[in-house]
Amino acid sequence: MMLVTKPVAELCALLIDELHGELPSRIFATLLSKGRSTLPQLSQYTSMTLRQLRHGVAVLLQHNLLFYHLDPGTEFAFYEANAEHAYNLVRTGKILEMIDTSFGAPAKDVMQSLLLSGQTRISDLVAAYQDKIEQATKAGGIVGDEDDFGAETNGVNGDSHPAKNTGPQVKSTAHLNSIICRLVEAEVIDVVHPKTFESSHDVLKTVEKEAMDKHFPAGIKGNKAKIELQERIAEGLRKVRDECKSLKRKLEQNGSAAKRRKLFTGVGMTNGTYEEDIDPALDPKQVIRINYEKCLVDLRNRRLVQFATDIFGETTAYVYGVLLKLLTKDLPRCRSDPAMDVGEDKDDDDEKGRRSVTTDQILDNLKTSVDLSLGIGKAEKRQISSAAAEKVELYPPKKKVLIAEAEVDGEASPDEDEDDSDSSEESDYDSDYKAPTTNGVNGTHGTKVKFDESAAPKERRLDRPTQLRQHLLLLSESRQHFVRHCGPNEWTVDFVPLINALREAELDSVIERTSGRQGLRLVRILRAKGKLDEKALPNVALMRKPELQQKMLEMQTAGFVHVQEVPRDLKADVKKSFFLWFCDVDRSLNRLLDTSYKTMLHCMQVLEALRQKERDVLETTKRTDVRGREKDTMRKEYYERYSRFLECERKLFAQVMRLDDFVSVLRDF
């Protein structure tokens, strides 16, 4: 799934070094380069002692960064690096921020503790929190009781407060329990089971063997048996995969799950009343950990909402966010695994079909404070072809959207260019929604509805469901196919073509940044026309030949366009052969992905170099008498150097995270 190239390997090792230290990072790097190995082998590779290795491997396993496989009866286990989880470390900040906005600060606190300690038994976590709460109450008693109230309100705003206010983030073990319940129900936390540590390859092997022994003891004969075996294997794999959802299932069996959820979604954590009694006590023996797959689904939702914001504006994007949230509530991962989901289509066909949301559901989940009349234009009835607008598409589109998108359209690109503008701040569909002051940014792209500003103001006063429908129709009409109108008043999202459109939008903005508008225009011409001869291109593009050639070469070195040489005769004379320009989106994207890995790695290396440069300052700040009081104890120049370093560090990490945004669009979504 994730191709581990050299830059990726180095990046993962550096990330582990950053968060968990040098020893695990060394072991991880060795495991990545040498493949699966046992402890004695590792000792040979790294010339470290077995004791060191055991400690390092234990840390890595605790943080879920390794797979291991132990054949029964053997002494040594085989360890294998889990590069995906190592890469996910870079998303920690994003995941925490997401949890913070959608579940509140206390949930973020729990999540952070969980990330910090790796897989944890629930009882241990509860005990740790109990300790902390007791300490906090003791300290609170000394400081004074009136502080409690202030701390409570502060807890909501985030945790950038002095240590005095930390305790009450999670107020009691019951509160902790309810938080864990909510997170488990949202699937962002799942249960560790013995198979968690088997690499997917090992799991496949065991499942395959089981299926063979159980159902085909005499061997496989014929195509029919082969297909059946495939299905059995897929079934077995799914069973293994679902094991980590056991806790969630148990919670849902309680029956009150839906009710509890309903109580909580509206309430949030702003007021101090928690319905703790309703939550069932969790089995303290269970071991829980973060489920990155589900976190990715949520991150994808946010990215798509941002994409919609760029194209339509705030209100429509908000509606879209609500729709996505409802739609992906039970979606376990961004992409279905071809090995496992083979049979699923057949078995749960009706279930798949049910993955849609009705207009009423969305309406129920919208905040009443949102003014839906914003962001949609007004048009007279006769100007709208309602048949075309309300067209119901029962099935996902068959043809690739990439080709459909190739219509040369100069208008659409600027939307993506201002990715980082302020508007993205408001796109969090969960909490800080603000009603936009202007009407929709640009509602007219490629839609069949033509708006008329002079339409009668009376028509603006539509009722809420109709307005909501307008937004949804707007979404479904766009070139990117944000939403598919899959039945009367039913909506669904085809993620694959949509993500492809998003990818292409990203690619376009990169091309525009590097080669300018001219370059982007040329690329779009090539996409529309397919392969074009070198001599024909100036005519099509209406550009002068030398300029054009320079641009094309520039883009070829950047990997956006490619050239193919077709000899006219056997001698393959260069002067006579054709040179065909074309652009291959997948190839460009792969190259971009690789470049982003390299840039991320480079950022981390720059940081390391900076650290080495400023090491005398940094060593000072690590001292126990200086730490926390840097301002008072350090001299001015040193202090300035230190703060400059901190600023650089922030910028570098921010750059890494932005690149990760890009990588997740290209690779994971």
Partner 1 sequence: MSGRGGRGGRGGRGGRGPLTNGRRAVAQNSVPWAMDGDIVLDGKPSELFPPYDVPKAPLLSRKEEKQVSYFLLFREQCQDSPLYTQARNWTQSSGTTARTYGQDQLNKRYGQMSKATVDPFTAVPTYSHRFKKVPRTLPDLGSRPFAKDFFPPELHATLDGDDEHSSGNGPVAKRRRVGPKTLGLSNITSYKTAEELFLPDAQQLGVGAGAGAASMDKALQFIDTIEKQNGDEEAILSGEDDDDWVKGNGEDDEDGNAEEDDQYEDESGDDYNAEAYFDGNQDDEDYDEGGDDGGDYF
Residues in 115-174 that interact with partner 1 by CB under 8 A: 115-117, 119-121, 124-125, 127-129, 131-132, 158-163, 166
Q: Kindly state whether residue 633 participates in binding partner 1, applying the rule CB under 8 A.
A: yes
Exactly one of 519, 620, 662, 666 binds partner 1 (CB under 8 A); that residue is 620
HSE-up (13 A, CA, CB side) for residue 628: 4
Taking a C-beta distance cutoff of 8 angstroms, is the pair 473, 389 a contact? yes
Torsion of the alpha carbons at 337, 340, 343 and 349, rounded to the nearest 10: -50
Stretch that binds partner 1, among 498-506, 516-524, 559-567, 650-658 (CB under 8 A): 650-658
Q: What is the DSSP letter of 112?
A: H
Q: Report the residue number, 410 or 516, with the smaller CB distance to partner 1.
A: 516
- Cα distance between residue 289 and residue 310, in whole Å: 35
Exactly one of 4, 7, 62, 594 binds partner 1 (CB under 8 A); that residue is 62
Q: Kindly state whether residue 635 participates in binding partner 1, applying the rule CB under 8 A.
A: yes
Stretch that binds partner 1, among 228-236, 321-329, 567-575, 627-635 (CB under 8 A): 627-635
Exactly one of 52, 173, 442, 590 binds partner 1 (CB under 8 A); that residue is 52
The site map against partner 1 for 539-568 (x = CB under 8 A) is ------------------------------
- Cα distance between residue 597 and residue 86, in whole Å: 14
Q: Report the residue number, 130 or 577, with the smaller CB distance to partner 1.
A: 130
Would the CA dihedral through 610, 613, 617, 620 be positive or negative? positive
Stretch that binds partner 1, among 91-99, 179-187, 245-253, 498-506 (CB under 8 A): 91-99
Q: Give min distance, CB of 50 to partner 1, in A.
A: 8
- Cα distance between residue 580 and residue 344, in whole Å: 43
Stretch that binds partner 1, among 54-62, 258-266, 377-385, 585-593 (CB under 8 A): 54-62
Q: Kindly state whether residue 622 participates in binding partner 1, applying the rule CB under 8 A.
A: yes
Residue list 278-307, contact with partner 1 (CB under 8 A)? 287
DSSP line for 389-418: HT----S---S-HHHHTTS--TTSHHHHHT
Q: Kindly state whether residue 657 participates in binding partner 1, applying the rule CB under 8 A.
A: yes
Q: 3-state DSSP call for residue 454? A: coil
Q: Give min distance, CB of 262 to partner 1, in A.
A: 28
Q: Kindly state whether residue 100 participates in binding partner 1, applying the rule CB under 8 A.
A: yes
Q: How many residues bind partner 1 (CB under 8 A)?
A: 103
Taking a C-beta distance cutoff of 8 angstroms, is the pair 585, 504 a contact? yes
Q: Kindly state whether residue 112 participates in binding partner 1, applying the rule CB under 8 A.
A: yes
DSSP line for 190-228: EE--GGGGS-HHHHHHHHHHHHHHHH-TT---HHHHHHH
Amino acid letter for position 503: R
The whole-angstrom distance between residue 203's C-alpha and the CA centroid of its chain comes to: 25
Stretch that binds partner 1, among 141-149, 436-444, 575-583, 641-649 (CB under 8 A): 641-649
Taking a C-beta distance cutoff of 8 angstroms, is the pair 327, 356 a contact? yes
Q: Kindly state whether residue 194 participates in binding partner 1, applying the rule CB under 8 A.
A: yes
Stretch that binds partner 1, among 1-9, 203-211, 480-488, 639-647 (CB under 8 A): 639-647
Residue list 327-356, contact with partner 1 (CB under 8 A)? none
Q: Kindly state whether residue 650 participates in binding partner 1, applying the rule CB under 8 A.
A: yes
- The phi, psi pair for 189, rounded to 5°, reads -115, 135
Residue list 497-516, contact with partner 1 (CB under 8 A)? none
Q: Kindly state whether residue 638 participates in binding partner 1, applying the rule CB under 8 A.
A: yes
- Cα distance between residue 67 and residue 61, in whole Å: 8
Q: How many CB atoms lie within 10 A of CB 171?
A: 21
Exactly one of 43, 92, 256, 447 binds partner 1 (CB under 8 A); that residue is 92
Q: Give min distance, CB of 571 to partner 1, in A.
A: 20
Taking a C-beta distance cutoff of 8 angstroms, is the pair 83, 2 a contact? yes
Residue list 580-609, contact with partner 1 (CB under 8 A)? 605, 608-609
Q: Report the residue number, 589 or 659, with the smaller CB distance to partner 1.
A: 659
- Cα distance between residue 147 and residue 152, in whole Å: 9
Q: Which among 265, 204, 278 is positioned nearest to 235, based on CA atoms? A: 204
Q: Report the residue number, 12 or 401, with the smaller CB distance to partner 1.
A: 12
Residue list 377-436, contact with partner 1 (CB under 8 A)? 420-422, 424-425, 428
- Cα distance between residue 307 and residue 427, in whole Å: 10
Taking a C-beta distance cutoff of 8 angstroms, is the pair 38, 68 a contact? no
Q: Kindly state whether residue 642 participates in binding partner 1, applying the rule CB under 8 A.
A: yes
Q: Give min distance, CB of 573 to partner 1, in A.
A: 19
Q: What is the DSSP letter of 628?
A: T
- Cα distance between residue 641 and residue 544, in whole Å: 52
Q: Could you give the angle at the alpha carbon of 318 between the alpha carbons of 403 and 90, nearest 5°?
A: 75
Q: Give min distance, CB of 361 to partner 1, in A.
A: 28
Q: Report the residue number, 337 or 426, with the smaller CB distance to partner 1.
A: 426
